Structure 1
Amino acid sequence: MENLALFAPAGGALALLFALYLSVRIGKADPGTERMQEIAGHIHEGA
């Protein structure tokens, strides 16, 4: 049980780091063509 008490916080920290990595990667991604950006804008307005 002591090992589980160590693995749980470490796993949570690892998950947060992975989420940060994905967020940065998605933020740097190409937004697409002008038409794709237009459609995304309409979806954003509708949401």
Structure 2
Amino acid sequence: MRFLDKRNGRALRLAIVDTESGEKVDGKHLSPVAGEGADDRVLWRLSHLQAD
């Protein structure tokens, strides 16, 4: 899947950004955790991801 700017059709690059500092974060530092709405399936996936 790609994301485009509706106004001009240009491709967009998504970024992971620290919510406090506003700085970009390299994906190798990303650690997914379950959110409030996480169901059993999400919890299972995260438990298997963290086991690797």
TM-score grouping bracket, smaller chain normalisation:
0.3 to 0.5
Write 1 or 2 for the structure with the bigger share of helix: 1
Normalising by the residue count of structure 2, what TM-score does the alignment of the two structures yield?
0.31
More relative contact order in 1 or in 2 (CA 8 Å, sep 6+)? 2
Specify the structure having the higher radius of gyration (Cα): 1
